[in-house]
């Protein structure tokens, strides 16, 4: 059998950028319908959406939304461009309306588009006739960055050519999509809505003061005298932005006008946002659709397109889109702000059934090219054309360089990577040491290579000195993690012998969590495109296993990595979902076990304790959960209190730990405990700006430098490494990977914290 070659052959993935249902907006409806129609027409193409959010918490989107952006947060625009490039999306289709995007005249979008490597098709929902300079500049740049501009009216095409000097071959006309509804008699469903036997006028759409509904109301008394069986349905909730800024003042004004005109028996307000199926039923019962907008500067209207596609007789004011669509007898035009003319046209159509039905048929027939099936086909043809053209004529990427202040060090030891490099071979980082010499007997582990990746990634982000070789080191550690990941089990192995043999098929949950932690940070910090892509891919593959984790430290490690990943790709809906599950699980573990005297989730304090409140603080801050933040701060304050004696840090010793009701082990004190506490205290300081947390972080850091029980430094300035622990009889002189990496991570964290304070820059609340 001969296979059929589709006209969109070679396109595997399409991303549509716009807002999306259930956000209440006409463009959200359009974007949703476009994504669904493309998916139906080309089921073998992966079609998904990146949704613009106008509130931090976003919306409960369906699965088609794979990424979310805060429209006012510039960094989100960079994040989505990187996400699209890494995911190898073939086509990006932007739904453009200035108000959807942040920055002056919606200019944040230009940053996103300038960084993309694939073709861009932009649908213009607004084209201004008399733009201010900044709006004109944005449209011109948008045209430059787009391979094609889709318009939904011919007047919009004329504007682009005449006002913005857009080449004609860059512009393509595609109708506003509409549902494919049957041409039925308006009386068919009227009994369902309680208007049986009445003549029905309808206006629908989100309510705002520019809709002109008051002019229809003022026209009604004259119409009712001639047609007392008239009912006028105003269908639609108040626009959310209008509601937020002005409340329901416009609707209240309309209701007061109805009472003043004494037409309450003839006007029905349906104050809600209806789904497509019910909207089509409302449209079906209308004898006349009225669109009485107050200004001509509207280049498209989804409500008008829907009404014509349902075979409605339409009366409209002469805004641009209506004038074009209702030409040649497809509707009636009345002047702006003229209730008398509106009444005359309504009466004329209600008096003349033959003329009204002829108008309905013309509108319906004209709209057959605008059904979503036909519109989806036209978009796919455009996608294919621009992809083929881009292949034949590659174009350079645009670059928008942002000014970044240099970060300087502040009276802290210099970072020295000699020890890190000495312990790293072409496999990865060896885990143990005999004094300062790598001990090959014990081989490698995922735990330490994950920590090493953290150091390399963090160093590339924050160190200003060149020549560290951190990019190369990142490649070694990423390669180890890639090899450690068991594709069949979807889990990381942990321990490997020096002969490169794994000793297990699945490592611990904690090892897996540490790997996710490091990969998330790598995604947030690495700039090397290959390393970033590898980190993102491996993180995505490994994340699913964490959803079933119950080890509190594994959850905490995973959450820290998830939060770092979401700094780069904050709109990744699946990662956000898992973050919510894990943060709630960790919070519940604290809530179910903590008491006033023992505000902890276990009956024993053991290792990496600071990481648990650290994860709670990150999660609580992100989710704006004061209860979660309070739980994290309370637990961390307790940890500081019980691990502070005579003004210095005394971490719980690993030789016995600290069981509830029992004695605290004083020794062996481990560097990993100081590191976990430093990072937790820094996070607490960023959230609260309470200087005591800054001081606590410094106290824990000074433990490395000798402000401890033995007044002996663990940091080795000669090698740049760190001794393995503080023992009752002195320092453990071995400088293994875990200890040295804990030191480097702590030093980098303090250097970044001090730099932020020196430069008086606002601290990033979620990146480090």
pLDDT at position 763, please? 34
pLDDT at residue 395, rounded to an integer = 58
Find out if CATH 3.40.50.1370 is the number for domain 190-370. Answer: no
Q: Is 734 helix (H, G, I), strand (E, B) or coil?
A: coil
Token pair for residue 236?
Answer: 């639609």
752: region left, alpha or beta (phi > 0 left; psi from -120 to 50 alpha): alpha
State the residue for tokens 């549509």. 16
Task: Report pLDDT for 393.
Answer: 67
Above 50 in pLDDT, residue 765? no
CA distance 11 to 45: 7
Give just the sign of the alpha carbon dihedral 68, 72, 76, 78. Answer: positive
Where does the pLDDT of residue 671 fall: very low under 50, low under 70, confident under 90, or very high at 90 and above? Answer: very high
Give the per-residue pLDDT at 630: 96
In this predicted model, what pLDDT tens digit does every residue of 254-300 receive, in sequence order? 999 999 999 999 999 988 877 777 777 788 888 999 999 999 988 99
Evaluate if residue 463 carries a pLDDT over 80.
no
Q: In 194-225, which positions are buried (b, 16+ CB within 10 angstroms) versus exposed (e)?
A: ebeebbbbbbbbbbbeebbbbbbbbbbebbbe
In this prediction, residues 402-420 reach a mean pLDDT of: 58
For domain 418-758, the CATH class is mainly alpha
Out of 259-263, 304-308, 606-610, pick the least confident.
304-308
535: nearest Cα among 485, 579, 582, 580: 485
Mean pLDDT score across all residues of the chain? 89
Q: Please compute the mean of the pLDDT values over residues 681-697 and round it to a whole number.
A: 94
- Structure tokens that stand for 763 in this block: 């601290």
Residue 579 confidence (pLDDT): 96
Return d(Cα 578, Cα 666) in angstroms, integer.
37
Whether residue 117 has pLDDT greater than 50: yes
Strand partners for 659: 604
Reported confidence tier of residue 67, pLDDT bands at 50, 70, 90: very high
pLDDT > 80? residue 729: no
Q: How far apart are CA 698 and CA 186, in angstroms?
A: 76
For the residues 690-696, what does the mean pLDDT come to?
94
**What distance in Å separates the CA atoms of residue 259 and residue 267, rounded to the nearest whole number?**
10
Q: Using N-to-C axis directions, what is the helix angle for 552-568 and 509-525, rounded to 10°?
A: 20
User: What's the pLDDT band for 713 if we cut at 50, 70, 90?
Assistant: very high
d(CA 692, CA 684): 10
Tell me how far apart the terminal alpha carbons of the chain are, to the nearest angstrom: 57
pLDDT tens-place string over residues 493-536: 999 999 999 999 999 999 999 999 999 999 999 989 999 999 99
Q: Note whether 13-177+374-392 and 418-758 share their fold.
A: no
SS (H, E, C) 179-209: CCCCCCCCCCCHHHHCCCCCEEEEEECCECH
Question: Do the beta carbons of residue 176 and residue 302 sit within 8 Å?
Answer: yes
At residue 755, the pLDDT reads 62
Class of 13-177+374-392 per CATH? alpha beta
pTM over the 0.95 mark: no
Domain boundaries, the chain: 13-177+374-392, 190-370, 418-758
The sign of the torsion formed by the CA atoms of 668, 674, 680, 681 equals: positive
Q: What is the mean pLDDT of residues 705-731?
A: 90
pLDDT score recorded for residue 461: 80
- For residues 25 and 30, give the distance between their C-alpha atoms in angstroms, rounded to a whole number: 9
Average pLDDT over residues 403-422: 63
């Amino acid at each position: 059998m001969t296979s059929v070659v589709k006209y969109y052959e070679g396109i595997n993935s399409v991303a549509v950028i716009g807002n999306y249902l259930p956000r209440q907006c006409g463009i959200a409806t359009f974007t949703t319908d476009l994504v669904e129609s493309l998916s139906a027409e080309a089921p073998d193409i992966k079609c998904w959406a990146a949704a613009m959010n106008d509130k931090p918490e976003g919306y409960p989107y369906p699965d088609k939304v794979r990424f979310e952006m805060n429209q006012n947060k510039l960094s989100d625009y960079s994040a989505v461009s990187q996400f699209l490039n890494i995911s190898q999306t073939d086509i990006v289709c932007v739904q453009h309306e200035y108000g959807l995007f942040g920055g002056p005249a919606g200019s944040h979008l230009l940053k996103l588009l300038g960084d993309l490597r694939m073709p861009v098709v932009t649908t213009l929902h607004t084209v201004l006739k008399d733009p201010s300079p900044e709006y004109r500049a944005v449209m011109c740049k948008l045209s430059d960055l787009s391979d094609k501009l889709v318009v939904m009216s011919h007047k919009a095409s004329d504007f682009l050519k005449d006002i913005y000097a857009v080449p004609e071959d860059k512009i393509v006309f595609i109708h506003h999509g509409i549902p494919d509804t049957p041409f039925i008699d308006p009386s068919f469903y009227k009994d369902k809505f309680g208007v049986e036997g009445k003549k029905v006028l309808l206006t629908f759409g989100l309510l705002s003061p520019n809709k002109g509904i008051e002019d229809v109301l003022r026209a009604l008394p004259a119409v009712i005298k001639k047609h007392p069986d008239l009912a006028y349905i105003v269908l639609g909730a108040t626009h959310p932005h209008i509601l937020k800024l002005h409340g329901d003042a416009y609707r209240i004004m309309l209701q007061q006008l109805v009472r003043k005109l004494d037409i309450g028996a003839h006007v029905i307000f349906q104050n809600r946002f209806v789904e497509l199926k019910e909207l089509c039923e409302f449209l079906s019962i209308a004898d006349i659709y009225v669109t009485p907008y107050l200004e001509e500067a509207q280049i498209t209207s989804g409500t008008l397109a829907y009404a014509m596609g349902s075979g409605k007789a339409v009366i409209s004011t002469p805004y641009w889109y209506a004038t074009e669509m209702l030409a040649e007898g497809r509707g009636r035009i009345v002047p702006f702000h003229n209730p008398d003319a509106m009444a005359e046209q309504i009466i004329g159509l209600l008096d003349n059934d033959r003329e009204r039905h002829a108008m309905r048929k013309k509108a319906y027939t004209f709209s057959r090219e605008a059904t979503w099936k036909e519109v989806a086909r036209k978009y796919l043809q455009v996608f294919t054309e621009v992809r083929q053209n881009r292949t034949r004529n590659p174009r350079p990427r645009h670059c928008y360089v942002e000014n970044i202040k240099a970060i300087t060090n502040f009276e802290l030891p210099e970072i020295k990577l000699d020890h890190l490099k000495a312990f790293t071979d072409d496999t990865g980082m060896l885990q143990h040491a005999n004094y300062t010499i790598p001990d090959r007997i014990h081989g490698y582990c995922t735990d330490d290579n994950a920590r090493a990746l953290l150091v390399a990634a963090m160093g590339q982000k924050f160190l200003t000195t060149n020549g560290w070789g951190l990019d190369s080191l990142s490649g070694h550690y990423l390669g180890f993690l890639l090899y450690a990941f068991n594709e069949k089990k979807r889990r990381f192995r942990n321990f490997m012998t020096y002969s490169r043999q794994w000793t297990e098929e699945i490592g611990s949950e904690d090892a897996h969590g540490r790997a996710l932690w490091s990969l998330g940070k790598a995604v947030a910090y690495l700039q090397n495109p290959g390393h970033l892509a590898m980190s993102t891919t491996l993180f995505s593959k490994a994340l699913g296993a964490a959803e079933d984790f119950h080890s509190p430290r594994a959850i905490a490690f995973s959450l820290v990595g998830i939060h770092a990943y979401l700094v780069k790709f904050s709109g990744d809906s699946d990662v956000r979902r898992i973050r919510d599950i894990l943060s709630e699980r960790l919070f519940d573990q604290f809530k179910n076990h903590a008491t006033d005297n023992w505000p902890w989730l276990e009956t024993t304090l053991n290792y990496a304790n600071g990481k648990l409140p650290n994860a709670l603080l990150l999660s609580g801050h992100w989710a704006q959960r004061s209860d979660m933040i309070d739980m994290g701060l309370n637990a961390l304050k307790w940890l500081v209190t019980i691990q502070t004696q005579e003004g210095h840090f005394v971490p719980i010793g690993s030789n016995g730990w600290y069981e509830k009701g029992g004695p605290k082990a004083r020794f062996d004190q481990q560097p990993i405990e100081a590191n976990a506490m430093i990072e937790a205290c820094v996070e607490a300081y960023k959230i609260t700006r309470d200087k005591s947390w800054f001081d606590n972080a410094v106290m824990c850091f000074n433990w490395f430098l000798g402000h401890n029980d033995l007044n002996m430094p663990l940091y080795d300035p000669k090698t740049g490494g760190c001794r393995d622990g503080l023992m009752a009889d002195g320092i453990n002189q071995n400088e293994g990977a875990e200890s040295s990496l804990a030191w480097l991570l702590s030093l980098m964290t303090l250097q970044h914290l001090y730099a932020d304070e020196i430069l008086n820059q606002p601290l990033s609340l979620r990146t480090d």
